[in-house]
Structure 1
């Protein structure tokens, strides 16, 4: 479910433009409605890490039931399936394909965990494309192999954006979350996304829940690295992430001054004004929801 409106919105555009993406356990349908009113741009119903093995079949049924015949327009969500080698992947993709075909489907798309193989991603894209309804596909990169193949994953036609799973990555390589390995992975996903001309990636969720200052700090780091948004694991994190990604008043004032000066200006406040600077100013105003044309 998503608190961002409405059935008239293109699911791919909604996912591509999301700054906040909130996970909700698939086996807790009682929490779906709360997630829908959290303020998150996109809700992700999780069939993977948040669900114990005995509950996975029931979680799949709950997710497809909620999205197949939604009670209102807020019943819209991505679904994170289990990994391709889990033994559950094929059945979950089939169930989501059936859900997507329904006339009132609220399925925004599918998130593919442990993404490493571009051919697996391409197969998913092809199968959803065959139903001729827009569905987002988000590979979640969580391993060394996935990071090194991020450019290939991003370049698969039909991929909406990438996402980073830093905790799983650190387990895979035996590093800490503060390790340069994570910084490298972040940069790799940002560059791969830009090279493929897809939306900027979603950053890994912060492990802090009650300390919202830490959540905001992590989100600002992600924003400064070129990420377009951040995954969230608790509704409390949503507002902190959104605020961190929003331009400051100082940045907005600078962007307005750049565009007001026009392309003929040589410098403002001692800084050379050229096409990249003008593009940066327009991007700031777009992030703030201000017309930057």
Structure 2
């Protein structure tokens, strides 16, 4: 059974013009795969990439598809193909700057198909809550490379505090899962990838885009609760079940409703992720 995307930690980009890299039923890998029609595919190869997608069958593992942005000449053609494809969970819309970008995209897709809005510009950051509040929006994601290029931000953490926090707060205010962080650029430094993912989780992000399979394991590790947290959540729920709605004391801590909900969310994600890994998805 595929992992519910609400709990997906690692989101792996795979070029749509490389069908030999498409996920297989018998393979373990990222929590979610995004077949990419945008940056990973040269303009001359866009049509071939769409044709590759059309060869996928209904029995293939479910994927997301990153289409080209709304201002692109390829946007409408991408959507026309994706709307007919089997085994597609949803689409990722790059350079989302306004709620209308998501609404116009959703209007050309089968009803209810979710859209991940990839926010990559200053205007997108400023409009983050409106984008997140659009009914078709499943989650926000941070396009850090394009945002860095537009703004010229350097490596100082304080330079990134505002846009990152804005995405987190906008997502939660709109009732969405926390946003998906942009990819680490390190391909061979597992420790660096995990460190970056750990900081992202501490900052309110709930998953991370990946640009290479080597990043999957450290990202999943960083965004997974440790066993001690899972044990704590179980104890909290066990005590709460016997408290008839009253606050309970667990490990010297007073557990009220917010902490109880945190324990419930943590355990739900941990169980879903563990079950998916056990099933080999």
Q: Same fold (TM over 0.5)?
A: yes
Q: Please say if residues 175 and 181 of structure 1, whose CA atoms lie closer than 8 Å, have aligned partners that are also in contact.
A: yes
Q: Please say if residues 24 and 60 of structure 2, whose CA atoms lie closer than 8 Å, have aligned partners that are also in contact.
A: no
Deviations 1:80-125 (A, max 9, x none): 111211221111112212x24xxxx112211100110211211112
Match for residue 79 of structure 1? 65
Residues 1:188 and 2:175 aligned together: no
Match of 1:30 among 20, 33, 46: 20
Residue correspondences, number: 268
Give the TM-score of the pair, scaled to structure 1: 0.83
Distance 1:17 1:260 in 2: 23
Distance 1:35 1:184 in 2: 40
Distance 1:127 1:89 in 2: 10
Q: Please say if residues 193 and 201 of structure 1, whose CA atoms lie closer than 8 Å, have aligned partners that are also in contact.
A: yes
Provide the aligned C-alpha RMSD in A.
2.2
Match for residue 49 of structure 1? 39
Structure 1 stretches of 5 or more lacking a match? 6-12
1:270: how far off? Answer: 4.3
Match for residue 209 of structure 2? 231
1:34: how far off? Answer: 6.3
1:2-151 matches, cutoff 5 A: 5=2, 14-33=4-23, 37-66=27-56, 69-70=57-58, 72-74=59-61, 76-97=62-83, 99-100=84-85, 105-128=86-109, 131-132=110-111, 134-151=112-129
Greater relative contact order (Cα 8 A, min sep 6): structure 1 or 2?
2
Structure 2 stretches of 5 or more lacking a match? 273-281
1:162-173 matches, cutoff 5 A: 162-173=140-151
Alpha carbons of structure 1 residues 198 and 266: separation in structure 2 relative to 1, 3 Å: closer
Distance 2:80 2:143 in 1: 25
Match of 1:206 among 184, 192, 198: 184
Distance 1:257 1:107 in 2: 38
Residues 1:241 and 2:209 aligned together: no
Distance 2:46 2:60 in 1: 26
1:137: how far off? Answer: 0.8
Residues 1:289 and 2:271 aligned together: yes
Distance 1:180 1:86 in 2: 33
1:231: how far off? Answer: 0.9
Q: Please say if residues 68 and 75 of structure 2, whose CA atoms lie closer than 8 Å, have aligned partners that are also in contact.
A: yes
